[in-house]
Amino acid sequence: MSVYDFSAKLITGEEQSLRDYSNQVMLIVNTATECGFTPQLEELQRLYEIYRDDGFVVLGFPCNQFGGQEPGPNAEVAQKCRMDYGVEFPLFAKINVKGDDAHPLFKYLTEEAKGILTEAIKWNFTKFLIDRDGNVVKRYAPMTKPEKITEDIDSIL
């Protein structure tokens, strides 16, 4: 099993297979536009711009499970991400990333890369680095700035 076995709805409503990102290095992130970590959206966009020509993509999954920090509808989320933070990387429809209703992709990610003390995602901007074969390489805490991940990205590109 790999992340390629999953699909999710894009923020515009179309179903997107993660298999379409095969042979790319992915950084999968649960995001929120009203979080203290929200400025990371600009940093994630910078990573995407730096590495996309080398086969790297950031996939953003908005989530409202942590402090209600993503309350708006998908269209509003997309507009905020693009207008306020310059996001061009793929954004998906709002999902749950923990609990019984967690999206199957995030259930898989947290099983493959457990967090400290628990496998559950604890807050917005938890990041998962995926290699070109769809395997989870590493999990990063919300406070890990995207720029701190560049060495790991370089090592698998």
Whether 35 is catalytic is yes
**φ and ψ at residue 22, rounded to 5 degrees:** -60, 150
From the list 28, 35, 63, 113, the catalytic residue is 35
Amino acid at 37: F
Amino acid at 135: N
Query: What are 155's two structure tokens?
Result: 């090592």
* Gap between the Cα atoms of 99 and 84, Å rounded: 30
Within 10 Å of residue 34's Cβ, how many Cβ atoms? 14
* Gap between the Cα atoms of 68 and 34, Å rounded: 8
Q: Which residues are catalytic?
A: 35
